[in-house]
Amino acid sequence: MTIKEVTTKEDINDFLYLPVRLFQNNKNWIRPLDADIESVFDKEKNKAFRHGECCRWILKDSSGNTIGRVAAFVNEKLVKKGNDQPTGGMGFFDCIENKDAAFLLFDTCKEWLAKRGMEAMDGPINFGNKDRWWGLLVDGFDRDPNYQCNYNFPYYQDFFESYGFQVYFKQFTFARKIMDPLSPKLEAKAKRLAEDKDYEFRHLQKSEAHRLAEYLRTVYNNAWANRAEMPELTMQQAKLIVKQMKPIMDLRLLYFGFYKGEPVSFFLSLPEINQIFRYVNGKLDWIGKAKFLWHSLLKTNKKAFGILFGIVPEHQGKGLDGAMVLNAREILQVKYKRYEEYEMNWIGDFNPKMIVVVEQVGAHVSKVHHTYRKLFDEQKPFRRHPILN
């Protein structure tokens, strides 16, 4: 077996097409967009290169066939943040069912990171945003992956754990049917709160769509900033998020809670775009764009996907979560029956309060991903991600 750094167009094609070959008979796998994968490794598009570096490799057998791939990266902003030791990352791992091949890929990442002063590596993770390509799927193989979420074979788990990776935290995806009822207790609490004239709960109106970035930033910074290593959101960043959402945005999926006219909570969702991308085979060329437009017009996608949920601290525990969901239910179950299923991604096991919220709205765990950490010195104590208060 031979490891080769990805440097040429041919190498890039091998890197992109390996999972296509591996998963060609898997009915649940949805091919990611080639452009989305390549943007991670593009210094012009990925801002993580401003304070980090990465490298990727392909693994070939004696016949010259590509049998594995992986990437490793150092993000200087995260190397020591919340860590007991300098920690790098690895990801975009795919491999045939061969432990020797998998370990050679892991060793390559470890050696590259160790040369740069790292003493541990997390994986499989992304070189960039945490909401993309993060964690190893260990449960939920019978469900389609959501957009820019990892999907892998069950045997990958044995590779990681046999090599010495340990669970740093678990990420849960919760699901519920749109038409399922709320718990009576939560519904009663939400209705009582709705009677308080200081509060208002509704989806974003067309007339105020231009204020979405402002609303988003206000709630996010009050609810999430400076928690779990999350920095404050600038207005420029908020506008960029809205710009990225705009092509697929559905106002009936963007719910806010207001107190005396000021936004204090949000429950933001989008149409689950992978349900359309499954038809474009990884490429948004003119054929792919035509297919995307066709399925968008026909509204063939029946799944909505949660992206952000938050309540500012002084309004927590009052039932705002239920009030927003109650308002959404009244719209989506009665007036606008486009969606049948709802999923909420990336809820860490270190966030018990959020887990209680989603369980209260009738959701159940549909997928589990593990984010692993491998200490290079296994004699050192291993610590899991701290629990959020």
User: Could you give all domains of the chain from N- to C-terminal order, each with its CATH number?
Assistant: 2-169+371-375 (3.40.630.30), 179-339 (3.40.630)
Contact 337, 292 (CB under 8 A): no
Q: Which are the contacts of 286, defined by CB distance < 8 A and separation ≥ 6?
A: none
Identify the pLDDT of residue 227.
57
d(CA 247, CA 109): 37
Residue 184 pLDDT level (bands cut at 50, 70, 90)? confident
Q: Which tokens belong to 154?
A: 């069950």
Please, what's the b/e burial string for 93-105 (b: 16 or more CB within 10 A of its CB; e: otherwise)? bbbbebeebbbbb
Q: Measure the N-to-C terminal CA separation of the chain; round to a whole number of Å.
A: 48
Q: Which tokens belong to 56?
A: 């990727």
Does residue 186 surpass a pLDDT of 90? Answer: no
pLDDT (tens digit per residue) in 288-301: 888 888 887 778 88
Q: Which residue matches tokens 């209680």? A: 356
Identify the pLDDT of residue 119.
97
User: Alpha helices, DSSP H only, in the chain?
Assistant: 9-22, 34-40, 99-114, 155-163, 184-194, 212-223, 235-245, 274-277, 286-298, 320-330, 352-360
Q: Which are the contacts of 133, defined by CB distance < 8 A and separation ≥ 6?
A: 40, 91, 92, 124, 125, 126, 148, 149, 150
Rounded to two decimals, the pTM is: 0.88
Identify the pLDDT of residue 371.
98
Determine the distance from the C-alpha atom of residue 1 to the mean position of all C-alpha atoms in its chain, rounded to a whole number: 33
Q: Which tokens belong to 75?
A: 């993000």
| 374 or 362: which leads in pLDDT | 374
Q: Which residue matches tokens 């070189």? A: 127
Q: Which tokens belong to 120?
A: 């541990």
d(CA 37, CA 21): 16
Residue 245 pLDDT level (bands cut at 50, 70, 90)? confident
Q: Which tokens belong to 41?
A: 């490794």
Identify the pLDDT of residue 226.
57
Does residue 36 surpass a pLDDT of 90? Answer: yes
Identify the pLDDT of residue 93.
98
Contact 145, 29 (CB under 8 A): yes
Cα R_g (the chain), whole angstroms = 22
Helix (H) or strand (E) holding 123: strand 120-123
| 245 or 145: which leads in pLDDT | 145
Q: Tell me the percentage of the chain whose pLDDT exceeds 70.
A: 98
Identify the pLDDT of residue 78.
87
Contact 150, 93 (CB under 8 A): no
Does residue 181 surpass a pLDDT of 80? Answer: no
The DSSP annotation for 307-375 comes to EEEEE-GGGTTSSHHHHHHHHHHHIIIII-TT--EEEEEEEETT-HHHHHHHHHTT-EEEEEEEEEEEE
| 191 or 100: which leads in pLDDT | 100
Residue 210 pLDDT level (bands cut at 50, 70, 90)? very high
Does residue 224 surpass a pLDDT of 60? Answer: yes
pLDDT (tens digit per residue) in 150-171: 999 999 999 999 999 999 999 9
